A and B are shown apart, each in its own frame.
Chain A
Amino acid sequence: MVKEKLVLEINDLVVNYETDNGTVHAVNGINLKLKQKQSVGIVGETGAGKTTTALAILNLIPQPTGIIKNGTIIVDGKNMLTISESDLRMMRGKGVSMIFQDPMTALNPVFTIGEQIAESVRIHEGVSNKDAMQRAIEMLEIVGIDKDRAYDYPHQLSGGMKQRVVIAIALACQAKLLIADEPTTALDVTIQAQVLELIRSYREKYDTAMILITHDLGIVAETCDEVAVMYAGVIVEYGTLEDIFNRTKHPYTEGLFNSLPNIIERRSKLTPIPGMVLDPTILPDGCVFADRCSYVIDTCRTTFQKDIAVSDTHIVRCSRYQEPGFNIKRMIA
């Protein structure tokens, strides 16, 4: 296999938030590699560190509480954590761009949407205001908004249209890596489908790599090549769509699937994962999922969990896979 150029390489990233109530261990040593055109979905429940990871890629962890303790983040050959402030600004928007979660608040209410799309073009392409506006209007047409609306203010647009504007801003400079932080959570299902289709067709055109952050496994199945399942700041399972959906290994991933409605056995009850998300100020010695896991044994709580490669593409962080013959019980329908 020819070694492809990596668009994103995260090595052993650790992010803490130092608060008055103690240190919150938001991200605890994650590794992630992303090639051109590739898309990876990061799934996990609220507080798993998904958004923190995304912000860390842009080096936008809220200061002064957020501290990147360890690790390197290399985007397109540049280390986002060590490059100069001006290089960093160039990388934001041009190298990596981000689609924000809530379109209602991600737009500035006092400027027209055209001006807001043009802003990013102006910053990165060094073009005149008029040309930037022209590009903004083109972008609006790409995301399917009539060009007349370029002079509208955010409050004159519906939620779905605002999200398209947010996407247009993110796409305007043709970044190599697109981070979509729950781009569809604020939208209803039909608009969701349109937005995902929009992102998909754009990525095909410009070969953009993407990180999709979501807790909707359905969206992941539809748009991603690979999946990272995050829990308490750790990637507990990583693999291709097939690996995660059909050859599930980690008990947490199993729990996620069990909490989804079963389309074949419609009468079956949902099986939620027992217990609560780990208190993020306490970092256990052993497995982060031990307290809620139904396969837990004593050594899980004391031994540091290492990544175990199940196949070339499939990695699981569960020490029980060192035991011969161990597997979770999940039935594949």
Chain B
Amino acid sequence: MKGLRKERGSSGFWGEVLKEFKKNKGAVTGFIVFSLIVLVAVLAVFLLDYKTQITKINIPEALQPSSWKHPFGTDQFGRDILNRILYGAHYSLLIGLCAVTISTAIGSMLGIIAGYFGGLVETIIMRTMDVISPIPSVLLAICIASAFGQSLISLMLAVGIVTVPAFARVARASVMSVREEEYIEAAKAIGASDINIIVKHVIPNSLPPILVQATMRVASAIIVGSSLSFLGLGVPAPKPEWGGMLAQGRSFLNTSTNMTLYPGLAIMITVLAINLIGDGVRDAMDPKLKR
């Protein structure tokens, strides 16, 4: 039976999206760069030794400029900046992806429930979101860090929770427009239950805006995560988080620019790559730009 589908060449919605995405050169570039960063991040964790190559203090080699031995130079403790950047990639990626996964899961679920059922449920959920959304992520991170201790997980939670309302709003709006479609009424008319309708009809049709939002949010989550580390609220000090490295380098801006330049570039390239992917996903899923 599956064979039939292939013969007829029906690609479906996701096939179309993939085709549109492939046409977008910027998005493909972004995707390639992002894949490389992910690859590097994973390899660095396995190939570089945390104790000897990342955090070992080696004062004689402190603050060196670029050389063959240290392509990006060394920091004030004589640690190789390239190694630290490579190793630090996984922090940023983890923060970005996990925070967005948390907020997408919670936010979309709340938004879908609010949008589908409406009424009192909607009021309670959406007004709660309104209360959460104005809390600055920095403030929330301070609260979470002081409550659960400073760690990667509390940073993810802080960044994730702050973006929950954004996802709830997008999901709700999307569901509300899908809810009015005649095929939802038709599904009710053949006796489908609410759960069935939400899972089979509402979620697949309201997914595109949520996905676009999620891709875009990964980039901003990385930035927020790095800013929190920069302020000393995120990943604790010896760990080479990019934002934390920037903060360290700040005091050596006049003498050793490498310490701020390369972590800064790393953040910029990662965020740019993800934003390019996000743009590509948005364009590919936007029915108005199609054909």
Task: List chain A positions with a Cβ less than 8 A from chain B.
Answer: 58, 60, 64, 88-94, 97-98, 100-102, 105-112, 119-120, 123-124, 133, 148-153, 156, 166, 169-170, 173
Given B8, B181, B188, B191, which contacts A90 in the complex, CB threshold below 8 Å? B191
Question: Which segment of B48-56, B198-206, B274-282 sits at the interface?
Answer: B198-206
Given B186, B192, B200, which contacts A111 in the complex, CB threshold below 8 Å? B200
> What are 28 pairs between A and B in contact, CB < 8 Å?
A60-B185, A60-B189, A88-B191, A92-B191, A93-B190, A97-B189, A100-B189, A102-B182, A106-B186, A108-B183, A108-B200, A108-B201, A108-B204, A109-B13, A109-B205, A110-B12, A110-B13, A111-B200, A112-B12, A119-B192, A119-B200, A123-B196, A124-B191, A148-B7, A151-B5, A151-B10, A153-B10, A156-B10
Q: Determine the distance from Cα of A152 to Cα of B7 in the docked complex, in whole angstroms.
A: 11
Contacts of B40 in A (CB 8 A): none
Interface of chain B: mostly helix, strand, loop or mixed: helix
Given A89, A100, A150, which contacts B191 in the complex, CB threshold below 8 Å? A89
Which A residue sits closest to B13, measured CB to CB? A110
Task: List chain B positions with a Cβ less than 8 A from chain A.
Answer: 1, 4-5, 7-8, 10, 12-13, 118-119, 181-183, 185-193, 196, 200-201, 204-205
Of B181, B190, B192, B205, most A-chain CB atoms within 10 Å: B190
Q: Determine the distance from Cα of A112 to Cα of B10 in the docked complex, in whole angstroms.
A: 9
Contacts of B119 in A (CB 8 A): 64
Q: Determine the distance from Cα of A156 to Cα of B1 in the docked complex, in whole angstroms.
A: 19
B205 touches A119 (CB 8 A): no
B191 touches A105 (CB 8 A): no
Q: Determine the distance from Cα of A97 to Cα of B190 in the docked complex, in whole angstroms.
A: 6
3 closest A-B pairs by beta carbon, nearest first, are A93-B190, A92-B191, A93-B191
Q: Determine the distance from Cα of A107 to Cα of B205 in the docked complex, in whole angstroms.
A: 12
Min CB gap B179→A, angstroms: 10
B183 touches A173 (CB 8 A): no
Q: Determine the distance from Cα of A105 to Cα of B201 in the docked complex, in whole angstroms.
A: 13
Of A90, A101, A109, A148, most B-chain CB atoms within 10 Å: A109
Contacts of A153 in B (CB 8 A): 10, 12-13
Please judge, given known A-B contacts A90-B191, A123-B192, A153-B12, whether A169 and B186 are in contact too, CB under 8 Å: yes
Q: Determine the distance from Cα of A64 to Cα of B191 in the docked complex, in whole angstroms.
A: 19
B191 touches A120 (CB 8 A): yes
Contacts of B187 in A (CB 8 A): 108, 119
Which B residue sits closest to A101, measured CB to CB? B182
Of B5, B183, B186, B191, most A-chain CB atoms within 10 Å: B191
Q: Determine the distance from Cα of A97 to Cα of B136 in the docked complex, in whole angstroms.
A: 52
Contacts of A151 in B (CB 8 A): 1, 4-5, 8, 10
A105-B181, A106-B182 are known; give 12 further A-B pairs, CB within 8 A: A58-B188, A97-B190, A106-B185, A107-B186, A108-B200, A108-B201, A123-B191, A124-B190, A150-B4, A151-B8, A152-B10, A153-B12
Q: Determine the distance from Cα of A194 to Cα of B101 in the docked complex, in whole angstroms.
A: 51
Q: Determine the distance from Cα of A84 to Cα of B276 in the docked complex, in whole angstroms.
A: 51
Contacts of A133 in B (CB 8 A): 1
Q: Determine the distance from Cα of A169 to Cα of B190 in the docked complex, in whole angstroms.
A: 8
Q: Determine the distance from Cα of A293 to Cα of B7 in the docked complex, in whole angstroms.
A: 62
Contacts of A102 in B (CB 8 A): 182
Q: Determine the distance from Cα of A20 to Cα of B12 in the docked complex, in whole angstroms.
A: 41
Q: Determine the distance from Cα of A123 to Cα of B188 in the docked complex, in whole angstroms.
A: 11
Contacts of B200 in A (CB 8 A): 108, 111, 119
Contacts of A152 in B (CB 8 A): 8, 10
A107 touches B183 (CB 8 A): yes
Q: Determine the distance from Cα of A116 to Cα of B182 in the docked complex, in whole angstroms.
A: 14
Min CB gap A92→B, angstroms: 4
Q: Determine the distance from Cα of A184 to Cα of B12 in the docked complex, in whole angstroms.
A: 27
Which A residue sits closest to B287, measured CB to CB? A109
Q: Determine the distance from Cα of A102 to Cα of B185 in the docked complex, in whole angstroms.
A: 12
Q: Determine the distance from Cα of A245 to Cα of B284 in the docked complex, in whole angstroms.
A: 55
Which A residue sits closest to B3, measured CB to CB? A151
B8 touches A100 (CB 8 A): no
Given B1, B190, B196, which contacts A92 in the complex, CB threshold below 8 Å? B190
A110 touches B4 (CB 8 A): no
Contacts of B5 in A (CB 8 A): 112, 151
B205 touches A100 (CB 8 A): no
Q: Determine the distance from Cα of A151 to Cα of B200 in the docked complex, in whole angstroms.
A: 17
Q: Determine the distance from Cα of A149 to Cα of B189 in the docked complex, in whole angstroms.
A: 24
Min CB gap A79→B, angstroms: 17
Q: Determine the distance from Cα of A97 to Cα of B189 in the docked complex, in whole angstroms.
A: 6
Which A residue sits closest to B15, measured CB to CB? A153
Q: Determine the distance from Cα of A152 to Cα of B201 in the docked complex, in whole angstroms.
A: 17
Please judge, given known A-B contacts A119-B200, A152-B10, whether A105 and B182 are in contact too, CB under 8 Å: yes
Please judge, given known A-B contacts A64-B119, A100-B182, A152-B8, whether A89 and B193 are in contact too, CB under 8 Å: yes
Q: Determine the distance from Cα of A169 to Cα of B182 in the docked complex, in whole angstroms.
A: 14
Q: Determine the distance from Cα of A176 to Cα of B191 in the docked complex, in whole angstroms.
A: 14
Q: Determine the distance from Cα of A101 to Cα of B185 in the docked complex, in whole angstroms.
A: 12
Contacts of A58 in B (CB 8 A): 188-189
Min CB gap B117→A, angstroms: 10
Contacts of B4 in A (CB 8 A): 148, 150-151
Contacts of B201 in A (CB 8 A): 108
B10 touches A89 (CB 8 A): no
Contacts of A148 in B (CB 8 A): 4, 7-8
